[in-house]
Amino acid sequence: MSEPRGIEKLGEKDYRGLLALGFTAGFIATSIVALVIGGVSAFQSIVAVLGPLEGSILGFYFGQRSKRY
């Protein structure tokens, strides 16, 4: 059985980055699917609901990054 290598070296900041990247990718994918399937009104609804959360996540992530330097 093979064991994962290098995962024990990930710190908390790495997990924050991966979560921010994952949510951003999900947000973009959901927005594209809504635009293709439901049109502009569905896209606007998705962006209205998830947009502020996405902005908060990115603001927190980059805000934490700027404090380190």
Residue pair 48/36 in contact by the 8 Å Cβ criterion:
no
Q: In tens digits, what is the pLDDT along the chain, a chain of 69 residues? A: 566 566 566 666 677 888 889 999 999 999 999 999 999 999 999 999 999 999 999 888 888 666 655
Question: Distance between CA atoms of 31 and 54, rounded to whole angstroms?
Answer: 12
Give the amino acid at 31: S
Question: Which among 44, 55, 67, 66 is positioned nearest to 20, based on CA atoms?
Answer: 55
Alpha-carbon torsion (4, 6, 10, 16), positive or negative: negative
Query: pTM (2 decimals)?
Result: 0.73
Residue pair 69/54 in contact by the 8 Å Cβ criterion:
no
